[in-house]
Amino acid sequence: DTEVTQTPKHLVMGMTNKKSLKCEQHMGHRAMYWYKQKAKKPPELMFVYSYEKLSINESVPSRFSPECPNSSLLNLHLHALQPEDSALYLCASSTSRTAYGYTFGSGTRLTVV
Amino acid sequence: AQSVAQPEDQVNVAEGNPLTVKCTYSVSGNPYLFWYVQYPNRGLQFLLKYITGDNLVKGSYGFEAEFNKSQTSFHLKKPSALVSDSALYFCAVRDSGNAGKSTFGDGTTLTVKP
């Protein structure tokens, strides 16, 4: 299995809702990432997990809460989002060795209404 | 801090012609450079990488990239463009520390016209 699977593919949520994004990989990668991407812009790093521990939080607002239950799963819990949080949320994984690139999921298209 | 720059927002080429998408980098230490492609409403796909060794690296879908240390460049090339190559291309540099995070360029939209 050489894929990163993200669910759901699309999500529409109100500003008072609580929802979660899910990411799963079975490549044995020990580094996992959440990125936020606006249209035609580069991905912006949000969080990095290394060996199931949060190693980087790029000053992301607390309405985004990551979780790594095990080495294959990564979740992003969403609460009280704002319309400007609407974006494509990408999960990626990689080996911890710098010589390798990332494997990205297809993303979750999030719309906050 | 490491960074990459893609000086062109848009590159237009005719099908069958060679294409070049430019990238320059700034790193302290050895560069770990990557190219990714993104099709509409999809995640990024890895194309190729430079770690060490030959300055010309070959990747997926007939793409190659030329690493030039003196010019701090890592340009993406393809000898003969296809309409299906039309997409958004990102150059990236990966940090050897700092949890191996990658920094992406602003992206270049490649349009190949029939």
Average pLDDT score, chain A: 94
Q: What is the 3-state secondary structure (H, E, C) of chain A?
A: CCCEEEECCEEEECCCCEEEEEEEECCCCCEEEEEEECCCCCCEEEEEEECCEEEEECCCCCCEEEEEEECCEEEEEEECCCHHHCEEEEEEEECCCCCCCCEECCCEEEEEC
% of chain A residues with pLDDT over 90: 90
The confidence band for B36, taking pLDDT boundaries of 50, 70 and 90, is very high
**A105 — contact with chain B (CB < 8 Å)?**
yes
The confidence band for B98, taking pLDDT boundaries of 50, 70 and 90, is low
Q: Can you tell me the distance from the alpha carbon of B80 to that of B101, in angstroms, rounded to the nearest whole number?
A: 33
- Bridging pattern class, strands B64-68 and B56-58: antiparallel
Backbone angles phi, psi at B100, to 5 degrees: 65, 30
% of chain B residues with pLDDT over 90: 79
The confidence band for B87, taking pLDDT boundaries of 50, 70 and 90, is very high
The mean per-residue pLDDT over the stretch B12-17 comes to: 98
Q: Which residue of A has its CA nearest to B4?
A: A42
Question: Which of B6, B44, B46, B86 is the mutation pick for testing A, counting most A CBs within 10 A?
Answer: B44
Nearest to B22 by CA among B81, B103, B77: B77
Whether B100 has a pLDDT exceeding 80, the answer reads: no
Whether B1 has a pLDDT exceeding 90, the answer reads: no
Cβ of B46 and A41 within 8 Å? no
Cβ of A50 and B99 within 8 Å? yes
Q: Tell me which H or E stretch contains B102.
A: strand B102-104
Cβ of A56 and B99 within 8 Å? yes
Q: Can you tell me the distance from the alpha carbon of A109 to that of A89, in angstroms, rounded to the nearest whole number?
A: 6
The mean per-residue pLDDT over the stretch A7-36 comes to: 95
Q: Can you tell me the distance from the alpha carbon of B18 to that of B30, in angstroms, rounded to the nearest whole number?
A: 29
Q: Can you tell me the distance from the alpha carbon of A82 to that of A95, in angstroms, rounded to the nearest whole number?
A: 33
The confidence band for A47, taking pLDDT boundaries of 50, 70 and 90, is very high
> What three-state secondary structure class fits B44?
strand
The residues, ordered by sequence, that sit 6+ positions from A61 with a Cβ below 8 Å of its Cβ are none
Q: Can you tell me the distance from the alpha carbon of A68 to that of B92, in angstroms, rounded to the nearest whole number?
A: 25
The pLDDT value given to residue A92: 95
**Tens digits of residue pLDDT in A48-88:** 999 999 999 999 999 999 999 999 999 999 999 999 999 99
Q: Can you tell me the distance from the alpha carbon of A108 to that of B80, in angstroms, rounded to the nearest whole number?
A: 33
